Amino acid sequence: MRFPVRLAAAAALGWLAGCSSTTAAGPGFSSAVTAAPASPKYLAEVVSAARITLGTSSAVSLRLDSAAVFGGTPKPIPGRGLFDFVSSRGEAELDRPGGSERLIFLADSVFVAQPQPGTLLPAGKVWISAGLTEQSLATNFPQFVTQVESLNPALMLSELEWGAVSAAPTEAPRGSQTHSYSVKVDLARSQSQAAGPSGQAFRQAIGYQLAETSGAAVPTQVTVEVGIDSRGRVVLLRSSPPGAGIGTVTLAMSGFGAPVTVAQPARAQVVDISSLAPGGERENAGGGDSDGA
């Protein structure tokens, strides 16, 4: 029996699919104080660090502040994850109100496990899968790609590599060994340069961000705070992704180079997001079936 309509899908996805597009700090969040003017030298350091980091793996600590997806809760939402940027695979766990939400990232798809799936999903199903490049997802859940990929540090790192246009050093805490920068990223440039295993999914996510920045002073630009360690690797990212509704995202990276093993959920436990929307199973709309069932 087909699981019913869009409302059920929004409930099943919780904050990921049913939230407001508002971000508390607006596009291009930046709270850092610049210590010197921007220069090509600093820009080259940031782009190089993003490229180096995308060539390895890391553990990631996540934090969401003022996330509209949780009703504007004043409490930060913490999380953690492991990501292999070379293979575009990773996993994360977010301590959202009501329980922990697990996510598995593949190059062009994602799996989301709800804290209490029994009351939201068909019997026996634990995970929701979504092909991040498919038109049915863009039609029924247009914010989903941006929301979920904003928790994937590879998107922000890739935006820096593809579209950073200026970088200025910022004041770092006393005694810190990290070099900090305030970086302007041209999203249109990032989108046009997107490539690699996740290139198509990232282009779609960036496209939604661009739509949300249309009223900004510089419509295609956002600001990202970047921290770089003494070995030239990005260890901190902070921004407010336009249109994601997840407030300010802080991603702290450590444990570089550790092996990352990402196991895809058992097919019997997976339901495709398209079957939760009007129109039913994605294969009825001329596509495949990302849960493999």
Reading the chain (293 residues) residue by residue, the pLDDT tens digits are 333 334 344 444 554 444 433 333 333 344 567 878 999 999 999 999 999 999 999 999 999 887 655 554 568 889 999 999 999 999 999 988 778 889 999 999 999 987 765 567 888 888 999 888 887 776 777 677 788 888 999 999 999 999 999 999 998 777 778 999 999 999 999 999 999 999 999 998 898 888 887 766 667 899 999 999 999 999 999 998 887 777 889 999 999 999 999 999 999 999 998 887 655 544 333 334 444 44
Dist. CA 159–CA 162, nearest whole Å: 5
Question: pTM score, two decimals?
Answer: 0.82
Ordered by start, the domain boundaries in the chain are 6-281
Reading the block at residue 226, the tokens are 């970047």
Reading the block at residue 93, the tokens are 């766990």
Give the CA count within 13 Å in the CB-facing half-sphere of 243.
Answer: 22
The three-state secondary structure class of 252 is: strand
CATH of domain 6-281: 2.50.20.10
Strands (E), the chain: 57-65, 77-84, 89-96, 99-105, 109-113, 127-131, 164-169, 179-186, 221-228, 234-239, 248-254, 270-272
Residue 283 gets which letter from DSSP? G
